[in-house]
A and B are shown apart, each in its own frame.
Chain A
Amino acid sequence: MTCKQALLYQSGELTPQEQEAFKKHLATCKACQAQIALASATEQSLTAPAAPAEVVDRVLLKTTRRPTVWSRFRTVFVGSVAAMVALAVGVGTYVRHQPVTNAEFVMYMSQTSQNEYATLSNDLDLFEQMY
């Protein structure tokens, strides 16, 4: 067993018998120990940092999260409905807070007065009947 097997030993690619034989060699060969330590350290140091998020997002938008025709239509439809509701609420609020004209006020008051007169008249009739 020679130092040639150091990298295969470190990667776990020796047969069980080769592995046992190399283990015995490794116990006395400082150079192989150092090479294996450096190979392991290099592997660990090259463990990949995260791929950029925007790169991953681009893949998703072109594959599993690609907007469908319905999802685009739904966005437009919901947006249009929301806009119309907002417009209706806005117009209603505007109309409700407009000051009344004089004519509208007079008509309202006269109508109110007539209603009160009718109510009073009915009450008096009832009173006469009772007494």
Chain B
Amino acid sequence: MSAHSDDELVVLFSQGQNDAFEELLMRHKNGLYQYIFSLVKDDGTAGDLFQEVFLALYKHAADFKAQGKVKSWLFLTARNKSLNYLRDHKSLTSLDEQDEEGNEFWHEILPDGEISHLEQLTQQENFERIRQIVASLPPRQQEVLYLRPYFSFKEIAEMVGKPIGTVLADCHRGLEKVRKILMEQPEVEL
């Protein structure tokens, strides 16, 4: 991987360097594909939408202004295309549904012993279980958790068009559900 920023790669590509486009693709392909898949839940559809996002970048690279927003643009374009697909196929599960469960702070509800047990469950051997649990969460909470490895809460709030407090609450509720299910059913289901 080169030391060029995303903005620099877009500029290089718009000047004719195809290697720069390929590097952008390699840099973001995994996270972007996973994010699209988390929304549409189908490999074929995720592949098609993934292709559309990068084709759009390929065609419009010359229009980009260097503002450090290439990654945000990729994920936001992916989000819009995924939501349009779900809407067109009438399978849109609302990302706006409110879910008030899981608002409590943990020190209000967890005894000390349970906290220690939870810390043991956050070890690497339970990562697969955590992945399974996140995949079963409501769409809103799932979306925030899938975006977190790549964006700050502030960036996520801008992307999804919600206040940062709402995004934080969705993340908190999502983690609370992960905690509950992990404590109740820690084994991996095959």
A contact residues vs B (CB 8 Å cutoff): 2-4, 7-8, 11-13, 29-35, 37-52, 54-56, 58-60, 62-64
Contact = CB atoms under 8 A, between A and B. Distances in A.
Contacts of A51: 29-30, 32-34, 50
Given A31-B110, A43-B148, A55-B50, A37 B119 contact: yes
Contact of B122 (A7, A37, A54, A58): A37
18 contacts: A3-B107, A7-B172, A13-B152, A30-B107, A30-B116, A40-B122, A42-B130, A42-B145, A42-B175, A43-B148, A43-B149, A45-B128, A46-B131, A48-B31, A48-B149, A58-B51, A59-B25, A62-B55
A11 B156 CA distance: 12
B30 to A, nearest CB: 4
The SS class assigned to the B binding surface is helix
A46 B30 contact: no
Contacts of B31: 48
B118 to A, nearest CB: 5
B46 to A, nearest CB: 8
Contact of B25 (A48, A52, A56): A56
B184 to A, nearest CB: 14
A52 B154 CA distance: 30
Given A11-B152, A31-B107, A46-B146, A38 B175 contact: yes
Contacts of B85: none
Interface string B153-190: 11000000000000010011001001100000000000
A4 B51 CA distance: 39
B99 interface: no
Interface residues of B, number: 53
Given A31-B115, A32-B106, A42-B178, 13 more contacts: A11-B152, A13-B152, A41-B130, A42-B145, A46-B130, A46-B145, A50-B30, A51-B50, A52-B47, A54-B47, A59-B54, A63-B55, A64-B18
B149 A47 contact: yes
A30 B116 CA distance: 8
Contacts of A34: 106, 110, 115, 118-119
Contact of B106 (A8, A35, A44, A63): A35
Contact of A46 (B33, B110, B149): B149
B136 interface: no
Contact of A64 (B22, B149, B175): B22
B118 A38 contact: yes
Contacts of A8: 153, 168
